Amino acid sequence: MLDDDPVHESVHRAFAEDLGDGTDITTEAIVPEDARGTARVVAREDAVLAGCDAFELSFRELDGDAVVKWNANPGDRIRAGETVATVEGRLRAILTAERTALNFLQRLSGVATYARRFVEAAGRPDVVRDTRKTVPGIRALQKAAVRAGGGTNHRMGLSDAILIKDNHIAAAGSVTEAVARAHEARPGLWIEVECETLEQVREALDAGANELLLDNMDVETVARAVVLAKGRAKTEASGGVTLDTIGAIAATGVDSISVGALTHSAPAVDFSLEVDATHAARG
């Protein structure tokens, strides 16, 4: 689960986008103000569950007394046709929050499901990392979903760690100069350097890099870089990693593999929210 702040902020923004002037004119026209209801959340496909906190807060944002009961936890495998949760509360609030809540659940469960597929394809625990290629405004939620799927998190943001990339190298003039400036500015901090060639790998190692980001290298070159770095620096493979290639990359012995697709290309999971009409009538 996440701290409340990023979830609350994301839910607030989502409702500001969806409600406009604050009114769901369809629901208010059709549903009596005092009606209460119960709804079931049903998975339409096999998946890994994530986004429970944002889903739950979406209903409580509109009905502080809403009760969400879960039949599964974040990180659990769920099956098509399974009821994963029930929601009880004011029926207007349930219907108004439905799309926002499901958007979070579908998108974040999609991230967790995709992360689990990459972790299993890699064949090694804790080797799969995410990146900063996230949907603006919901990075914390997406990174929590990656963890639910069995992956690990790279930097949350630019202030977390030093990662010298190709444009930093271009600005400094060389890998050696970029690493030297980083050491001078932030002595003692972990420094990772993006390397596109074995020549850059050697230069980064000689400059004192702690970790090498092996960018868009083929498997053979990654394997050679891992040998060069052994005992001197950690290694991370990145760039164009797919479910078909991650197993071979992991077999090189690289310490981690970053996959941007976990957060920028994960397909959403299909869920539906079904109101139990027997509890929806005016009491």
Which residues are the active-site residues? 99, 133, 165, 194, 215
Quick check: 141 and 104 in contact, CB under 8 A? yes
Quick check: 152 and 131 in contact, CB under 8 A? no
Order of strands across the sheet with 271-276?
Answer: 67-70, 83-90, 36-43, 271-276
Selection from 160, 186, 137, 163 nearest residue 258 by Cα: 163
Which two three-digit tokens encode residue 165? 């990339």
Q: How far apart are CA 269 and CA 261, in angstroms?
A: 15
Q: Is 205 left (phi over 0), alpha (psi -120 to 50) or beta?
A: alpha
SS (H, E, C) 139-181: HHHHHHHHHHCCCECCCCCCCCCEEECHHHHHHHCCHHHHHHH
Selection from 54, 75, 68, 109 nearest residue 271 by Cα: 109
Contacts of 42 (CB under 8 A, 6+ apart): 81, 82, 83, 84, 271, 272, 273, 274
